[in-house]
Amino acid sequence: MHITLEADYAVRIVGCLAALEQRADAKTISEETCVSLRFALKILSKLSANGLVRSFKGKKGGYELAKPPSEISVMDVIKTVEGNYYLSRCLSPEYDCSRGMSGCCKYQKLFDDISAEVEKKLSSYTFEMLK
């Protein structure tokens, strides 16, 4: 199991902006994170639309964090690009599990507990801590 490449890159992009501590253009962010410019722009757009990053147009434009690094967790970034974290698809509200007498299989509680622990751990790491 692993996070998607997009989530991995999004974490690196936010980390880059936190480390730079200033506005940066997409090309610089792309080069610093080794993410293609096209993919970086796609991710920056999502991060901006969800309030984690601010974008500025024009000659002195670029991107910067919308909040202090201490207020952005790794989980915030992952949720922005992937949505809620579930260890198993059976935990997703869209998934209809009709196994077992209670409407769910015996593993659902286990997967839910593990998902909650992973989310808690990822939420405990801020980009201020990772600078």
**Separation between Cα atoms, residue 112 and residue 129, nearest integer Å:** 27
33 domain residue, yes or no: yes
Instruction: Please write the tens of the pLDDT for every residue from 68-95.
Output: 999 999 999 999 999 988 888 878 877 7
The count of domains in the chain is 1
Query: Is residue 130 in a domain?
Result: no
- Stronger pLDDT, 97 or 131, i.e. the higher one: 131
Structural domain harbouring 46: 5-123
Task: Return the higher-pLDDT residue of 76 and 102.
Answer: 76
Domain CATH code at residue 48: 1.10.10.10
Cα–Cα distances in Å, from 68 out to 1, 4, 18, 19, 99? 30, 25, 8, 11, 45
In a domain, 96, yes or no: yes
Residue 95 counted as domain residue: yes
Tell me, yes or no, whether 129 lies in a domain. no
Q: What is the average per-residue pLDDT within 110-130?
A: 94
Residue 128, in any domain of the structure = no
Report if residue 69 sits inside a domain. yes
